[in-house]
């Protein structure tokens, strides 16, 4: 995301229209995510497509990748799984039993290779197949796969090629401050205090993680508090 794409509080509502009927809770999709208007639009286009278009988000920590998966949980018949928690039989059983329309895999690079292999035929041909105790079961499924990865190097190349791959960049300071003030603003933190927090986290704590801003935002009432907290955290930093 570049700085000039922010603030992207710009009218994104219209993007949500095509999938409104698929939303389980009727909440607007992606409304908790600041910026990334183009990525949101691509997701909407994928959701409106007749045939599945799978999307993989790759990028540095704290760049909102997981947030995109969590937002997609608002979609009806979606199933969220962590790459590190999934086992082949667990995921396959789920696919057979629940027949999800949207499979959301966070940190797919931690998924064992055999699980990644199972995804290949699902994504390419919509077929799930399993042989157990010399019995084979097959099913046809129409499932969109949305996934995240901190690095694509541990993934199978054929799997990667089945995704539209979007590489998120590290936030610039401007974007970082914008995201921080937006999130803290929704928690009732005044914008000058939020801006000071973003600056202190970035320059003093040398962190690019919005989570650090959120922690300080919940502790600080004034800019003086921000100075004191960051100074204290810095002195206890490893
Ligand atoms: N663009 C953004 N909009 C809203 N929150 C964000 C954004 N970028 C980062 N965050 C916040 O930063 C934290 C990390 O986001 P997350 O989605 O877990 O990152 P990732 O999965 O890329 O490591 C979360 O608390 C999230 O709310
Ligand atoms: Mg994540």
Share above pLDDT 70 across residues of the chain, in percent, rounded to a whole number: 87
- CATH superfamily, with its number, for domain 3-167: P-loop containing nucleotide triphosphate hydrolases (3.40.50.300)
Q: Whose CA is nearest to atom 6 of ligand 1?
A: 64
Q: Which ligand is nearest to the CA of 1?
A: 1
pTM of this structure? 0.86
- Cα–ligand 1 centroid distance for 151 (angstroms): 17
- The minimum-distance atom of ligand 1 relative to the CA of 60 is 22
Q: Do 64 and 33 contact (CB within 8 A), yes or no?
A: yes
Q: Do 14 and 20 contact (CB within 8 A), yes or no?
A: no
Report pLDDT for 22: 59
Q: Do 54 and 149 contact (CB within 8 A), yes or no?
A: no
What is the rounded CA–CA span in Å between residue 75 and residue 50?
16
pLDDT tens-digit series, residues 52-98? 999 999 999 999 999 999 999 999 999 998 888 766 557 888 889 99
- The minimum-distance atom of ligand 1 relative to the CA of 64 is 17
- Cα–ligand 1 centroid distance for 125 (angstroms): 33
Q: Whose CA is nearest to atom 10 of ligand 1?
A: 64
- The minimum-distance atom of ligand 1 relative to the CA of 171 is 8
Q: List pocket residues of ligand 1, CB cut-off 6 Å.
A: 32-35, 59, 61-67, 148, 179, 183, 210-211
- The minimum-distance atom of ligand 1 relative to the CA of 1 is 1
- Cα–ligand 2 centroid distance for 67 (angstroms): 7
- Cα–ligand 1 centroid distance for 63 (angstroms): 5
What is the rounded CA–CA span in Å between residue 38 and residue 28?
16
**Residue in 143, 168, 141 with CA at minimum distance from that of residue 60:** 168
Q: Do 136 and 121 contact (CB within 8 A), yes or no?
A: no
Strands 135-140 and 127-132 come out as antiparallel
Report pLDDT for 24: 59
Structure tokens at 29: 């999709």
pLDDT tens-digit series, residues 112-158? 777 788 899 999 999 998 888 888 989 999 999 999 999 888 888 99
What is the rounded CA–CA span in Å between residue 168 and residue 214?
21
H or E stretch including 81? strand 78-82
Confidence of residue 27 (pLDDT cuts 50, 70, 90): confident
- Cα–ligand 2 centroid distance for 24 (angstroms): 23
């Amino acid at each position: 995301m570049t700085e000039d794409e922010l603030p992207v509080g710009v009218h994104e509502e219209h993007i949500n229209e095509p999938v409104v009927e698929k939303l389980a809770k009727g909440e607007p999709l992606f409304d908790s995510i600041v910026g990334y208007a183009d990525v949101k639009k691509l997701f909407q286009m994928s959701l409106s497509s007749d045939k599945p278009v799978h999307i993989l988000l790759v990028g540095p920590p704290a760049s909102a990748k997981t947030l995109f998966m969590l937002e997609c949980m608002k979609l009806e018949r979606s199933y969220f799984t962590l790459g590190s928690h999934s086992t082949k039989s667990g995921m396959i059983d789920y696919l057979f039993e629940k027949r999800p329309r949207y499979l959301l895999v966070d940190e797919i690079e931690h998924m064992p290779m055999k699980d990644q292999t199972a995804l290949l035929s699902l994504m390419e041909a919509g077929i799930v197949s399993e042989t157990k105790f010399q019995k084979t079961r097959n099913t046809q499924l129409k499932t969109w796969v949305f996934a995240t990865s901190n690095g694509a190097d541990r993934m199978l190349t054929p799997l990667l090629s089945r995704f539209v791959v979007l590489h998120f960049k590290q936030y610039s300071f401007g974007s970082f401050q914008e995201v921080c003030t937006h999130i803290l603003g929704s928690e009732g933190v005044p914008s000058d205090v939020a801006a000071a927090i973003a600056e202190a986290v970035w320059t003093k704590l040398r962190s690019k993680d919005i989570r650090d801003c959120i922690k300080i935002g919940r502790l600080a009432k004034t800019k003086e508090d921000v100075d004191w907290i960051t100074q204290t955290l810095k002195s206890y930093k490893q």
